[in-house]
Amino acid sequence: MLVLVCVGVLAFAGLTVKKLYQGQR
């Protein structure tokens, strides 16, 4: 259960960083 939460957070953080990175460029 905790693993699923970690994976979800990592996925959400990854999408956010990717969007911000593409947004700056």
pLDDT tens sequence across 1-25: 899 999 999 999 999 999 999 988 7
Per the structure, the count of domains in the chain is 1
Phi, psi of 19 (to 5 degrees): -65, -45
pLDDT value for 1? 85
Q: Which CB contacts under 8 angstroms, 24+ apart, belong to 10-19?
A: none
pLDDT value for 24? 80
Please, what's the largest Cα pairwise distance for the chain?
A: 37
pLDDT value for 12? 98
pLDDT value for 23? 86
Domain that holds residue 6: 1-25
pTM value > 0.85 = no
